[in-house]
């Protein structure tokens, strides 16, 4: 109860400009192993006096370079790259034989986007066109150029996601299968040994690009996508898999001439049932540098009644950011290793009846979206709000917003909501903020700018 009281104080304080005075909540769990997660060293001996930075972790989608035409260069021109600490590249896949792989396999892997596709001078971060004989092109080379321009920016390969978690359960079943999976991921992404594709790829082609691995298994021990395998023993196997990743990452780090620490993170769920089905929290947090908490998709157009998708606070029994954070803290997660997920998109319904503000009302289906029904980028929702055709509604106590035109409703986060959530991160002594996904922001990076304004300094 005390945590909730202090957290609500943080929501009020942000409007008073008191963010800097907020202290971590009483009861926030101390880090039990490695010290501050944000600035891990190879020896895991970072001092609290070092004042590590808040993490700002953004997902860059592999497929966004096509229809969305969102390129790595856009992270530079929007100003986002200067405000991020980590980019999670989404996604790497795990094959039916339990190995990390890439190639040009429709729906399974896209080497063309990853490292084959040539970029011209106008599309390149460094303003130089790719040549026909360079071994690394595509998104990987652009991310390498982005890191060169923004020293300190880290790039993680995120494995799995909703659609590509299919084979995790099989790959994690035995010590031998876990060892083989991790070794293949280290070889492909950290050692950079990419499959040859004409002049592209080859031994060491992507070496030095990735600074760690993000595990996005959705979900160990409980249902995910329709073809994703899950078993009761996933919970213990996930712990063992995380340990294997940590062991092999550290072993590879010791082979490098330059002192190196490869980071290990994961995307983890909000639902208490899914947490308990798949995660031995105290054990896995010893090996993770941080975890990204699901802070969105609490409700959506798969339901027949409109509701908030990403509220900071909600009534008892409903999902919220505060509920998610406290559920992980109560299970033994260190506060400074919890990074709060924030959406750069909204969930929407149409055919909403019942009047009022539209929230909590029956709807006939998903609202039309640019890329998928029921989902829309923030940059498009901002245009709706600015048009005057929709009214912006806010639940200031709950810390969320929505748009309603009398028929269609969109629940989303705007800069005001994200500043409030960022103040909450500071108040709770948490690790930072994560964003899904960077292509949803405006061309001038309004959302990342709002978060950076609160979390851009040190803890």
Given this model, what pLDDT does residue 30 score? 30
Pairing of β 263-268 and β 212-216: parallel
pLDDT tens profile 71-96: 999 999 999 999 999 999 999 999 99
* CB-based contacts of 272, cutoff 8 Å, min separation 6: 327
Instruction: Put residue 64 in one of left, alpha, beta given phi > 0 → left and psi -120 to 50 → alpha.
Output: alpha
Given this model, what pLDDT does residue 259 score? 87
- List the catalytic residues: 218
Given this model, what pLDDT does residue 257 score? 87
pLDDT tens profile 325-349: 999 999 999 999 999 999 999 999 9
Given this model, what pLDDT does residue 269 score? 98
Alpha carbon of 261 to those of 44, 87, 147, 345, 387: distances in Å?
A: 8, 16, 17, 33, 48
443, with CB counted inside 10 A (0-12, 13-18, 19+), is exposed
Given this model, what pLDDT does residue 50 score? 58
Residues lower than pLDDT 70 in the chain: 1-50
φ, ψ at 275 (rounded to 5°): -60, -50
Contact 446, 452 (CB under 8 A): no
Given this model, what pLDDT does residue 15 score? 38
- The rounded Cα 327 to chain-centroid distance in angstroms is 19
Using DSSP, state whether 433 is helix, strand or coil: strand
Domains of the chain listed by start with CATH number: 2-346+418-455 (3.20.20.80)
Alpha carbon of 38 to those of 88, 194, 263, 351, 391: distances in Å?
A: 15, 29, 10, 45, 39
Q: Using CA atoms, how far apart are residues 119 and 308, in angstroms rounded to an integer?
A: 40
**CA distance between the termini of the chain:** 24
Burial 345-374 (b: 16+ CB within 10 A, else e): bbbbbbebeeeeebbebebeebbebeeeeb
Listing DSSP states for 324-378 in one string gives: HHHHHHHTT--GGGEEEEEESEEEEEES--S-TTSTT-B-SEEPP-SSBTTEEEH
Q: Using CA atoms, how far apart are residues 126 and 153, in angstroms rounded to an integer?
A: 16
Contact 264, 337 (CB under 8 A): no
Contact 357, 404 (CB under 8 A): yes
Half-sphere exposure of residue 40: CA atoms within 13 angstroms, side-chain side: 27
């Amino acid at each position: 109860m005390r945590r909730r009281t202090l957290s609500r104080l943080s929501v009020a304080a942000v409007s008073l400009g008191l963010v800097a005075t907020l202290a971590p909540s009483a009861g926030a769990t101390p880090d039990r192993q490695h010290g501050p997660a944000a600035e891990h060293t190879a020896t895991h001996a970072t001092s609290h006096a070092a004042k590590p930075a808040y993490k700002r972790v953004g997902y860059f989608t592999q497929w966004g370079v096509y229809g969305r035409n969102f390129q790595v260069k856009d992270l530079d021109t929007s100003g986002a790259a200067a405000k991020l600490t980590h980019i999670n590249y989404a996604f790497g896949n795990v094959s039916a034989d339990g190995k990390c792989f890439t190639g040009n396999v429709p729906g399974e892997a896209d080497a063309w986007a990853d490292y084959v596709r040539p970029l011209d001078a106008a599309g390149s971060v460094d303003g130089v066109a790719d040549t026909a004989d360079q071994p690394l092109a595509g998104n990987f080379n652009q991310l390498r150029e982005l890191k060169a321009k923004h020293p300190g920016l880290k790039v993680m390969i995120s494995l799995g996601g909703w659609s590509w978690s299919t084979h995790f359960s099989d790959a994690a079943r035995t010590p031998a299968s876990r060892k083989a999976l991790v070794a293949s991921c280290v070889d492909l992404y950290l050692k950079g040994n990419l499959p040859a594709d004409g002049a592209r790829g080859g031994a060491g082609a992507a070496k030095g690009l990735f600074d760690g691995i993000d595990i996005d298994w959705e979900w160990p021990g409980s249902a995910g996508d329709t073809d994703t395998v899950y078993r009761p023993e996933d919970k213990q196997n996930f712990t063992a898999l995380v340990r294997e990743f940590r062991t092999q990452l550290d072993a590879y780090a010791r082979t490098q001439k330059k002192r190196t620490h490869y980071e290990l993170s994961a995307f983890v769920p909000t639902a208490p049932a899914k947490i308990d089905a798949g995660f031995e929290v105290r054990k896995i947090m010893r090996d993770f540098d941080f975890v990204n908490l699901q802070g969105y998709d609490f409700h959506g157009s798969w339901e027949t009644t409109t509701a908030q998708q990403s509220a900071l606070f909600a009534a008892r029994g409903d999902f919220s950011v505060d509920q998610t954070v406290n559920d992980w803290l109560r299970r033994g997660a260190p506060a400074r290793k919890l990074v709060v997920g924030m959406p750069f998109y909204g969930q929407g319904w149409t055919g909403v009846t019942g009047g009022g503000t539209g929230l909590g009302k029956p709807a006939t289906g998903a609202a039309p979206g640019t890329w998928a029904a029921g989902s829309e980028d923030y940059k498009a929702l901002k245009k709706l709000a600015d048009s005057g055709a929709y009214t912006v509604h806010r639940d200031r106590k709950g810390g969320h917003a929505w748009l309603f035109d009398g028929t269609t409703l969109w629940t989303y986060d705007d800069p005001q909501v994200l500043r409030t959530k960022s103040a909450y991160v500071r108040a709770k002594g948490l690790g930072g903020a994560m964003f899904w996904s960077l292509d949803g922001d405006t061309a001038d990076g309004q959302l990342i700018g709002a978060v950076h304004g609160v979390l851009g300094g040190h803890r």
